[in-house]
Amino acid sequence: MDTTLSETQRLLRDSLRDYLANEVPFDRIRDLEREGGSDRALWDYLQGAGFLALPFSEAHGGEGGELTDTAVVLEELTRRACIIPFLETTASALAIERHAGEALADEVVRGVIGGAITIAPALQGATPSNGASPRVEGGALTGERRFVDYGAEATHHLVEATEDGEPGLYLVDARGEGVATESLSTIARTPVAHCTYDGAPARRASGADGLRFLRNAGRALCAVQCVGNAQQALDMTVEYVGMRVQFGRPIGSFQAVQHHCANMATQTLSARFLTYRAVWCVDEGIATDREIAKAKALASRAGTEVTMQSHILFGGIGYTEEYDLHFFSRHGKERALAWGSADECLRLAADTIDEVQPWQ
């Protein structure tokens, strides 16, 4: 697979990068972290510029683009530490578009493209919670989900629940009756909530197939965020060691430092290749749980290990919150755990190894 960006993808990347550099300074991210909300102004810009429409079909008002186009956008947003539910809304809306009925798919996708709908996926984690697993009876959802990204910010929740013993996805109005959210604190300082449902009206979006698609799409796009964190930390480090003078010369001229940077670059590039292939497989409908899990495992490790190595090369200044590197170590750690940690994903890959067809 050729991971070189197309001309269209380069234009998307460059235009968004310029906008973020000029309009979304890191001090704004600091303010959002203190306030505990998401960046509505940035969301409105993405809607107006057509970025939200990229992966959706033209039949629902979208651009009919590739999911890799959206991955390029997501990586740029990650490299600016942006706090918006872009991954969550995109993955959820794609699951609805591809697996729900036409009426619901058209309603939701057009709402997302228009900027009126944001969606927080509320799924069962790798380790079952102690709370009551959501269930649906007579169109009413009861139960709870913990650690839901943007659960208190989104207009809707896409909840994994069971009905008559069968798993599926159910769309819930997050501001409607029977829904309560409690904001939680995390290392990333991004919006996370504990969501409780008490007879909340729920619409069935899909069965097990849609749930599997959402898990794989979310996991692949989360791997993109891990790669974005690693790439940003690497770029910042290379720039810093080239200008930091010690012993009368830039520290980047020392071979030991160069070896560290080379290892960081190799780790990031390897994760990038596997991650973008995973995104492509999801888009083409040929993704396997094992392949997506392997990509997320490698990206999770790259996201944390590269940023930690950056701190070592920066020295003391890298540990101060006045410097911007901490965004990517904190966000990178949280993203490494989201949608399945490296260990959880490797266990999943190992559990499904018997499904792999032998070479003929």
Q: 127: domain CATH number? A: 2.40.110.10
Domain that holds residue 28: 7-113
Residues 256 and 168 in one domain: no
Residues 200 and 267 in one domain: no
Which pLDDT belongs to residue 2?
73
**Does 60 reside within a domain?**
yes
pTM of structure: 0.95
**Does 195 reside within a domain?**
yes
Which pLDDT belongs to residue 326?
95
Residues 263 and 151 in one domain: no
**Does 148 reside within a domain?**
yes
Query: Which residue, of 113, 139, 170, is where some domain finishes?
Result: 113
pLDDT tens figures, 322-331: 999 999 999 9
Q: 198 forms bridges with which residues in the sheet?
A: 142
**Does 312 reside within a domain?**
yes
**Does 2 reside within a domain?**
no
How far apart CA 54 and CA 74 sit, in angstroms, is: 12
Residues 245 and 351 in one domain: yes
Total domains present in the chain: 3
Q: Which helix (H) or strand (E) holds 159?
A: strand 156-163
Query: Which residue, of 174, 206, 238, is where some domain finishes?
Result: 206
Which pLDDT belongs to residue 40?
97
Query: Is residue 339 a contact partner of residue 278, using CB atoms and an 8 Å limit?
Result: no
Question: Which ranges constitute the DSSP H helices of the chain?
Answer: 7-23, 26-35, 40-48, 67-79, 86-99, 102-113, 208-243, 255-284, 289-314, 325-337, 342-351
Which pLDDT belongs to residue 193?
97
Residues 36 and 54 in one domain: yes
Task: Give the CATH number, domain containing residue 241.
Answer: 1.20.140.10
Query: Is residue 250 a contact partner of residue 298, using CB atoms and an 8 Å limit?
Result: no
Extract the residue ranges of the chain whose pLDDT is less than 70: 1, 126-132, 354-360
Residues 225 and 191 in one domain: no
**Four-residue CA torsion sign, 316, 262, 233, 187:** negative
3-state secondary structure 17-84: HHHHHHHCCHHHHHHHHHHCCCCHHHHHHHHHCCHHHCCCCHHHCCCCCCHHHHHHHHHHHHHCCCCC
Neighbour-count burial for 123-146, b at 16+ CB within 10 Å, e otherwise: bbeeeeeeeeebbbeeeebbbbbb
Residues 201 and 220 in one domain: no
Which pLDDT belongs to residue 318?
87
Query: Which residue, of 206, 228, 246, is where some domain finishes?
Result: 206
Which pLDDT belongs to residue 130?
43
Which pLDDT belongs to residue 316?
87
